[in-house]
C-alpha cells in the first residue's frame, strides 16, 4: 500500500466568529486507495478536530456526505483520491446555505420533498382481507430506477436553475413524485400535479441535464421532469381544449 | 398551488423543436445549394408560386413557420433568463408578441400568393 | 458585517454562472441555437413576402441570399441548426422512453431511429424540391 501527501483545501465557516467562509489548507498523509471522506476523517482525527461535515455509511447509501469536490457535486465516500491530482478543493454543496464548514442547511429540500407526497396513495382503500396490491415485473421496472434516489442533493447542487430560482421544487423531489406517479398501485398523481405541474414545479426546469449527470445512483431526474412536462401538456390541452374529456 | 398554464407555450416549443430538428438543416441547404451551382427546381419562381399557391403547400409552410417561431420565442425567453435578464414577464410578452406577429405575417403573405 | 450566528448564503453569479463549467457552456450553446432558428424563420418569412410581391422581388431576394453575406449567414445558421438537431435527438430517450414488455429500449436505439429519420427527412426534402 502506497502513501501520498494530499493537499486538501477545505472551505471553513464558523457562524459564531466568521462573517464569510475562507479556505484552509491541510496536508494529509493518505493511502492510495482512500476516498476524500477518508482524508477528511484523517484531518478530523489527527489534525483539526474542529472540522465539521456530515457522513454516515461510507458506502454511497446514506447520501449524507455530498460536497463540492473541485467544483463537482460528489459523494465524498465515492470520490477516490487517485482520480485527483494536485490540490483538492472541498466545499459544501452548492446552492445550500452553509451551517458550518461543510455542513449545509437542507430544510428547503426536506420541505419540498414533503410537498410532493412521495409515498403511495392507493387508488381506493382496500381491506387487508382483499390481499396484496399485485404488480408485474414490467410495472415494477417502469419506476424502479427512481426508487434508487438516496436524497443526497447532488442534483440540486448541479442544477443551475435551482441556484437561480430557489423556489424551484427541483430534480430529486420531482423525480420522486414521478416514481409514485408511475407506480401501478398509486392513484395520487392528481394531488401531486398540484405541486409539480405548478410554476414552481417542472416548468422552472430548462433541461440542462446536469442532475442526471452527477447522480451517484444513476437515477435520471432530467428524464423524469421531461416526461412530466409532456404529460402535463397533454393534461392541459385535454382540460382546456377538450373540456368534455374531463372525468 | 395552481397548475401552470405554461403547457400552452411549452407544447408549441416542444413540437417546434422536433420539427425544426428534422427540417431546418434541409431547408437551409435548399437555399445554400445554388451557391454550389445546384439550383433546386422548387426555387424557380413559377414552381414555388405553384407550391405556395396550393392550399396544401400553404398549410405546410404555415405549420413549419408557426412552430419554428414559437419554438425560438419560448427558448429565447428561457435563454434570456439564463443570461441574467430577470424581467421574465416583460420578456415573455415581447417574445410571444413577436411570435404572434410573425405567425400573422406568415398567414398574410401566404394568403396573398 | 460581523458574525451573526446565522448560516452563510453564497450568491449565485447572475450573469456568468455558466462560464466556469463545460457542462453549462454546452447547455448555453444549445439554448442559443434558438437565435439562429429564429433568424432562419425570419428569412423564410421575408422569402414569403418577396414571393408574394412577384417574380422580380423573388429573384432579387434569391440573388441576395446567395451573395457573400447571405452565404456566411446561412452557414452559421446551418451550424447552429445541426447542433440543435443533434442536441435535440440525443435527449429523446429521456423524454420519451420506450418500454417493451419488461425492458426499456436502449437509448442508443431511440437516438439512432431519430438520426435515421432525420437523414430520410433531409433527403426527402431535397429530392421533392428537385435538388437532384
Quote the CA–CA distance of B71 and B88 in Å, as a whole number.
Answer: 17
Contact residues for A76 (Cβ-Cβ < 8 A; gap 6+): A35, A36, A37, A40, A53, A55, A65, A66, A67, A69, A90
* A74 touches A89 (CB < 8 A): no
Kindly report the CATH class assigned to C11-89.
mainly alpha
End-to-end CA distance of chain B: 48
* A200 touches A193 (CB < 8 A): no
pLDDT tens per residue, range A47-72: 999 999 999 999 999 999 999 999 99
Kindly report the CATH class assigned to A107-245.
mainly alpha
The total number of structural domains in chain B stands at 1
**What's B15's domain CATH number?**
1.20.1300.10
Burial of C71 per CB tally in 10 Å (0-12, 13-18, 19+): middle
Question: Does the structure show a pLDDT above 60 at C1?
Answer: no
Beta strands in B1-113 (DSSP E): none
Cβ–Cβ gap A15/C8 under 8 Å: yes
Q: Label the pairing between strands A3-12 and A88-92.
A: parallel
Residue range of the domain that includes B63: 8-111
Q: Cell numbers 438543416 label which residue?
A: B25
Domain contains B22: yes
Contacts of B5 in chain A (CB under 8 A): 236
Element (H, E) at A27: strand A22-31
The cell for A26 is 491541510
- Domain covering A3-104 assigned CATH 3.10.20.30 in the classification: yes
ipTM of the modeled complex: 0.95
pLDDT tens per residue, range B32-86: 999 999 999 999 999 999 999 999 999 999 999 999 999 999 999 999 999 999 9
Q: Cell numbers 412521495 label which residue?
A: A118
CA of C4 to nearest chain B CA: how many angstroms apart?
30
Q: How many other C-beta atoms lie within 10 A of the C-beta of residue A214? A: 22
Domain contains B102: yes
Question: Does the structure show a pLDDT above 80 at B2?
Answer: yes
Q: Which candidate, A182, A186, A188, A192, places its Cα nearest to that of A224?
A: A182
Q: Which candidate, A111, A171, A114, places its Cα nearest to that of A146?
A: A171
Question: Does the structure show a pLDDT above 90 at A247?
Answer: no
Domain contains B21: yes
Chains in contact with A, where contact means 3 or more Cβ–Cβ distances below 8 Å, are B, C
Cβ–Cβ gap A195/B81 under 8 Å: no
Cβ–Cβ gap A164/C3 under 8 Å: no
Q: pLDDT band at residue C96, thresholds of 50, 70 and 90?
A: very high
B contact residues 77-106, partner C, Cβ 8 Å cutoff: 78-79, 82-84, 86, 102, 105-106
> What are the residue boundaries of the structural domains of chain C, listed by start?
11-89, 91-132
At C29 the pLDDT is 97
CA of B2 to nearest chain C CA: how many angstroms apart?
24
Q: Which candidate, A100, A16, A104, places its Cα nearest to that of A66?
A: A104
Domain contains B3: no
Quote the CA–CA distance of C113 and C107 in Å, as a whole number.
Answer: 10
Out of A193, A198, A206, closest to residue B78 by CB: A206
- Chain C within 8 Å of B113 (Cβ-Cβ)? yes
Residue C29, classed as helix, strand or coil, is: helix
Amino acid at each position: 500500500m502506497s502513501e501520498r501527501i494530499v493537499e486538501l483545501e477545505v472551505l471553513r465557516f464558523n457562524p459564531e466568529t466568521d462573517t464569510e467562509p475562507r479556505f484552509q489548507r491541510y496536508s494529509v498523509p493518505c493511502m492510495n486507495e482512500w476516498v476524500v471522506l477518508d482524508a477528511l476523517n484523517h484531518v478530523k482525527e489527527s489534525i483539526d478536530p474542529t472540522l465539521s461535515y456530515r457522513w454516515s455509511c461510507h458506502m454511497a447509501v446514506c447520501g449524507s456526505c455530498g460536497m463540492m469536490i473541485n467544483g463537482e457535486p460528489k459523494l465524498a465516500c465515492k470520490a477516490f483520491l487517485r482520480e485527483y491530482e494536485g490540490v483538492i478543493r472541498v466545499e459544501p454543496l452548492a446552492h445550500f446555505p452553509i451551517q458550518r464548514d461543510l455542513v449545509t442547511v437542507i430544510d428547503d429540500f426536506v420541505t419540498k420533498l414533503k410537498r410532493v407526497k412521495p409515498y403511495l396513495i392507493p387508488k381506493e382503500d382496500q381491506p387487508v382481507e382483499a390481499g396484496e396490491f399485485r404488480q408485474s415485473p414490467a410495472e415494477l421496472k417502469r419506476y424502479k430506477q427512481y426508487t434508487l434516489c438516496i436524497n443526497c442533493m447532488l442534483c440540486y447542487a448541479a442544477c443551475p436553475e435551482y441556484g437561480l430560482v430557489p423556489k424551484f421544487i427541483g430534480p430529486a423531489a420531482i423525480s420522486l413524485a414521478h416514481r409514485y406517479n408511475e407506480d401501478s398501485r398509486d392513484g395520487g398523481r392528481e394531488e401531486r400535479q398540484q405541486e409539480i405541474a405548478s410554476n414552481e414545479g417542472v416548468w422552472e426546469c430548462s433541461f440542462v441535464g446536469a442532475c442526471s449527470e452527477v447522480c451517484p445512483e444513476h437515477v435520471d431526474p432530467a428524464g423524469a421532469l421531461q416526461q412530466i412536462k409532456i404529460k402535463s401538456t397533454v393534461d392541459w390541452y385535454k382540460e382546456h381544449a377538450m373540456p368534455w374529456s374531463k372525468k | 398551488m395552481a397548475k401552470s398554464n405554461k403547457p400552452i407555450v411549452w407544447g408549441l416549443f416542444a413540437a417546434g423543436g422536433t420539427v425544426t430538428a428534422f427540417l431546418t438543416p434541409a431547408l437551409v441547404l435548399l437555399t445554400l445549394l445554388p451557391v454550389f451551382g445546384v439550383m433546386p427546381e422548387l426555387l424557380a419562381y413559377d414552381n414555388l408560386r405553384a407550391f405556395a399557391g396550393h392550399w396544401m403547400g400553404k398549410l405546410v409552410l404555415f405549420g413549419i413557420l408557426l412552430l419554428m417561431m414559437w419554438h425560438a420565442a419560448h427558448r429565447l425567453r428561457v435563454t434570456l433568463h439564463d443570461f441574467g435578464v430577470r424581467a421574465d414577464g416583460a420578456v415573455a410578452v415581447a417574445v410571444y408578441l413577436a411570435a404572434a406577429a410573425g405567425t400573422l405575417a406568415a398567414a398574410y403573405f401566404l394568403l396573398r400568393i | 458585517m460581523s458574525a451573526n450566528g446565522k448560516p452563510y448564503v453564497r450568491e449565485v453569479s447572475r450573469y456568468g454562472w455558466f462560464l466556469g463549467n463545460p457542462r453549462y457552456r454546452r447547455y448555453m450553446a444549445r439554448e442559443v441555437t434558438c437565435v439562429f432558428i429564429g433568424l432562419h424563420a425570419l428569412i423564410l418569412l421575408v422569402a414569403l413576402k418577396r414571393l408574394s410581391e412577384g417574380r422580380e422581388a423573388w429573384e432579387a431576394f434569391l440573388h441576395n441570399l446567395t451573395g457573400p453575406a447571405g452565404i456566411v449567414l446561412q452557414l452559421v445558421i446551418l451550424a447552429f441548426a445541426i447542433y440543435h438537431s443533434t442536441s435535440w435527438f440525443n435527449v429523446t430517450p429521456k423524454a420519451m422512453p420506450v418500454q417493451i414488455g419488461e425492458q426499456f429500449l436502449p437509448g442508443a436505439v431511440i437516438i439512432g431511429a431519430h438520426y435515421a429519420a432525420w437523414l430520410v427527412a433531409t433527403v426527402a426534402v431535397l429530392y421533392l424540391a428537385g435538388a437532384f
